[in-house]
A and B are shown apart, each in its own frame.
Chain A
């Protein structure tokens, strides 16, 4: 399992060796040492079926397969990089927030409708997340992009967490999410508090929230 090493809050160094390959966002390589090669990968380790699914879903950020022997450095647009380690659990993340992930992780696409049916679809459409999200599962590490750094908020059954949909980055664990609205008469006439929609996360797990309301 490659050991991800943060150089600073916005750059990440990843060792690459045979058997320790990674997938990264295309064009996110900053520098490398050793003999490392980068191949565009349309399938991102998902197979033909998965690729088709992603293409249909619009949840497609072109990834590249990084192989060889050496170390590569990654970064993108001055955004903060957060390393997340997975040990058998599943991480739900938007495809464009994914900077690097181990080739050993299984990548999938999940239809929002699977979580919450029609409501899930509406939620994806309203929050600008799209109708599909990317899942990463297995054992390994991945790195997420965020504007302004992320904060981990634990979720427990006694303590549900509400998140601004634009500040939501990713979540993991057994978490149910639903969109709650606090729309009132004031919002209708354009005098709302700017917090009309909130993502309510309940269950047990962790949600990653960024310090900004900007999408990537």
Chain B
């Protein structure tokens, strides 16, 4: 659960995620474009990266939560956070959101073709099943993660897919770890201790 103290500021939060508040609060669903402009909204529509946020404004404390999942706070100082739209709980009003195409490798991992990017200065709250950990990536130590356990990443990272498909996988006797994401560069990758459902059992 996340508590946000507001003194007249505006934050954006997942639609319907308020569980309680005190003080004076107003909830307003964001317009069709979600602050991303007409082009952004169109891109989001095409990408299927649906995201419904609401604007919360007021004086007091608002408590946000969704389906008993864990909340991790990410501080952004001008850098870019890439996260699945359904993993985003709340973000500062100053942060900008947009769609980032991942390409075909998102297919089959339950991630879809695109992911949401958040940039600017402020705090974003991301959701994970079980507490998320941030794993550091440096040029010397690339990191491989299970696509189903991937939550988001931050920093200058190149993403590519590592496959280890052999005749055993084809026969359905694989180890269940045939496809991994490999990250190289400088940054932080958030991983959750659960594997979400994908289209393919890989």
Q: Does A162 contact B (CB under 8 A)?
A: yes
**Total of A-B residue pairs, C-beta within 8 Å:** 81
| Interface window among A83-91, A111-119, A127-135, A187-195 | A187-195
Which of A161, A162, A193, A211 meets B65, CB within 8 Å? A211
**Shortest CB–CB separation between residue B46 and chain A, in angstroms?**
21
Report yes or no: A186 in contact with B1, Cβ–Cβ below 8 A: no
Interface members, chain A 178-216 (any B CB < 8 Å): 182, 186, 191-195, 207, 209-214
For residue B124, which residues in chain A have a CB less than 8 angstroms away from its CB? Answer: none
- Among B20, B27, B63, B66, find the residue whose CB has the most chain A CB atoms closer than 10 A: B20
Q: How far is the CA of A211 from the CA of B64 in the complex (A)?
A: 8
Beyond the given pairs A148-B68, A191-B29, A194-B17, 4 more chain A to chain B contacts, judged by CB atoms under 8 angstroms and listed by A's residue number, are A151-B1, A209-B20, A212-B66, A212-B67
Report yes or no: B19 in contact with A167, Cβ–Cβ below 8 A: yes
Q: How far is the CA of A212 from the CA of B27 in the complex (A)?
A: 18
Q: State the main secondary structure of chain B at its contact with A.
A: strand
Which of A191, A209, A214 meets B63, CB within 8 Å? A209
Q: Does A45 contact B (CB under 8 A)?
A: no
Report yes or no: B67 in contact with A193, Cβ–Cβ below 8 A: no
Report yes or no: A162 in contact with B16, Cβ–Cβ below 8 A: no
Q: Does A153 contact B (CB under 8 A)?
A: yes
Q: How far is the CA of A164 from the CA of B18 in the complex (A)?
A: 7
Q: How far is the CA of A80 from the CA of B52 in the complex (A)?
A: 29
Report yes or no: A161 in contact with B21, Cβ–Cβ below 8 A: yes
Q: State the main secondary structure of chain A at its contact with B.
A: loop
Report yes or no: B29 in contact with A207, Cβ–Cβ below 8 A: no
Q: Does B188 contact A (CB under 8 A)?
A: no
Interface size class of chain A, counting residues whose CB lies under 8 Å from the partner chain: 20 to 34
What is the chain B residue whose CB lies nearest that of A148?
B68
Given A167-B65, A211-B65, A212-B66: A193 touches B20 (CB 8 Å cut-off): no
For residue A194, which residues in chain B have a CB less than 8 angstroms away from its CB? Answer: 15-17, 27, 29, 52, 54
For residue A159, which residues in chain B have a CB less than 8 angstroms away from its CB? Answer: 22-23
Could you list 21 examples of A-B contacts with CB < 8 Å? A147-B67, A148-B1, A149-B68, A160-B22, A162-B20, A162-B22, A162-B25, A164-B20, A167-B19, A193-B29, A193-B54, A194-B27, A194-B29, A194-B54, A195-B27, A209-B20, A210-B19, A210-B65, A212-B65, A213-B16, A214-B67
Q: Does A163 contact B (CB under 8 A)?
A: yes
Q: Does B45 contact A (CB under 8 A)?
A: no
Report yes or no: B68 in contact with A210, Cβ–Cβ below 8 A: yes
For residue A149, which residues in chain B have a CB less than 8 angstroms away from its CB? Answer: 1, 68
Q: How far is the CA of A209 from the CA of B22 in the complex (A)?
A: 13
Q: Does B28 contact A (CB under 8 A)?
A: yes
Report yes or no: A186 in contact with B68, Cβ–Cβ below 8 A: no
Report yes or no: A148 in contact with B65, Cβ–Cβ below 8 A: yes
Report yes or no: A195 in contact with B54, Cβ–Cβ below 8 A: yes
